[in-house]
Structure formats: structure tokens, C-alpha cells
Structure 1
Amino acid sequence: MIASAEISTRSRCRGWPCGHHEGMAKGALPVNRLFLIINLGPVSTHTHQRSFHNMNRKELVDALAAKTESTKADAERAVSGLIDIISATLKKGDSLSLVGFGTFEVRKRAARTGRNPKTGEELKIKASKVPAFKPGATLKATVNGAKTKK
């Protein structure tokens, strides 16, 4: 059963901010951006593909303190300790696996030839080692909305 039919903009923007909405009155719809949307719920009038929030270190510490019912100082020490352990393990060339969550590992990048975009001159890029994270099955399932067993 169709609950409502609404007219809305759907931004086809690839970056943020999109720019093509500048100068428009709020709620104004450009003719080439109108789409008839038939849905069962409310429709956003401005949808971007990149609408997400990056949690920073302070927010992580605050969340950890709240989750574990500890002080922020204890949570900060725990986060610092975890980062130090992961960094030291990767520096040695080892990997660190947390079953269900994922694996931190070092990957080798081969030497390659690049190009300076300004001059077009060829450059030799040295081989390097880069840290990488491979998510585990439980984390993937959680991100994709599957219910996990506790």
C-alpha cells in the first residue's frame, strides 16, 4: 500500500559540499533535479552520498569511558596503550588478529614508476611497507546490519 507520493531532490553529488545548491532558496527544487518519489516514509530534501561522521580520538575516549563505566583518564590510557601495542606489533612486521573484529597487518608495496602531474616527468617510487586492516566476519556482518550473537 502506497502511503504518500512526494517530490524531492536527490543530489547526484560526488563530493561535499556539492555547490550546485548555492543561491537557491531553501526548499526550492531545480527542474533538472526533480524526481517523483513514491515511498512509505518521509523523504529528505537534500541527500548526499557522503553524509557520515568520523569519530575522533576524544570521542572514542568518551565513548569507552561511558561503555566501561570508568574515568576518562583510564579510558585515555587504554586507548593509548592499544595504539602503542598495535604500532609496535606492526613495526616488528607481525600482524595482530582479533577474532571476529579483524586483523591489523603490514603489506609490502613494490617499487614502481610514477609521474609528476605538474611536469609530466617520470619518478621512481621506492618500495614501502604500509599498515592495513582486514575486517573480520563479525564486524562485516555488524556493519551490514546483521544481528550478531552476544
Structure 2
Amino acid sequence: MTLTKAHIVENLFAENVFTKAESAQIIETLFEIIKQTLEEGEDVLISGFGKFSVKAKNQRRGRNPQTGEPIILPPRRVVTFKCSGVLREKINHGS
């Protein structure tokens, strides 16, 4: 099962601390802060979870998979994620 934003809101609401609307607003605000930080080229480090970074990709040669025609792919920025040692340990060895 894929964890969606709606699932996160439901789980936060289930803790009986916030209303459903407050839970949705908190999650939306959190994701907006993360997006803005990454847009500015800064890293997002969440202790015990991992680090999101923006990396620059250079222009490169590629090809159109349908025609085989060579093309030049423009430079771009991509988001990478590196999980923390704590998360890696939980994934590999359970809680």
C-alpha cells in the first residue's frame, strides 16, 4: 500500500490531538515548507528519517526511445533522498 497525503492526515487525526481540518492544514504547511526550501536549493534534514538534497544534472546526450533519434537533454535539477542510519536499521532489521 502506498502512503498518501490523505493517509498521513487520517493518522494525525486519529491521534485525537487535532481536528481533521487542522491535521490537513498542518500537513499542507509542512509539505509547502519542504518544497520552498528545496526550490531555494537548500537541503532538508529530518533527524531519524533522512536528508533531501537538490543536485544539478548536466546537459547530456540521449535518444528518443520511439524513434532512436539522438537528442540533447537539457541541464536540470533533481531531488535526491538519503535515508538516515536509524531508518536504514529499522528497514533492514525491523523495530
TM-score when scaled to structure 2? 0.90
- Alignment-derived partner of residue 90 in structure 2: 142
Aligned to 2:23, the other structure's residue is in SS state: helix
Question: 1:108, CA displacement in angstroms?
Answer: 1.2
In structure 1, the partner of 2:8 is 60
One-letter code aligned to 2:19:
T
The residue number in structure 2 matching 1:106 is 54
- The sequence identity of aligned pairs, in percent, is 32
Gaps of 5+ in 1: 1-52
Q: Residues of 1 paired with 2:86 and 2:92: CA distance?
A: 10
* Pair 1:80–1:120, CA change in 2 (3 A): same
Distance change in 2, residues 1:118/1:146 (3 Å): closer
Q: Give the alignment's Cα RMSD to 1 decimal.
A: 1.4
Equivalent position to 1:96, from 8, 24, 44: 44
**How many residues matched?**
95
Contact 1:101 1:138 in 2 (8 A): yes
**More helix by proportion, 1 or 2?**
2
- Note if contact 1:86-1:104 (Cα within 8 Å) is conserved in structure 2: no
Runs of 4+ in 1 over 6 A off after TM superposition: none
Q: What TM-score does the superposition give when structure 1 sets the normalisation length?
A: 0.59
Q: Is the 8 A contact 1:96 1:104 kept in 2?
A: yes
Q: 1:123 aligns with which of 49, 61, 71?
A: 71
Map Cα deviations across residues 15-36 of structure 1 (whole Å, 9 max, x no partner): xxxxxxxxxxxxxxxxxxxxxx
Counterpart of 1:93, as a letter, is G
* Structure 2 unmatched runs, 5+: none
Q: Which has the higher contact order (CA 8 A, sep 6+)?
A: 2
Tell me which structure has the larger Cα radius of gyration: 1
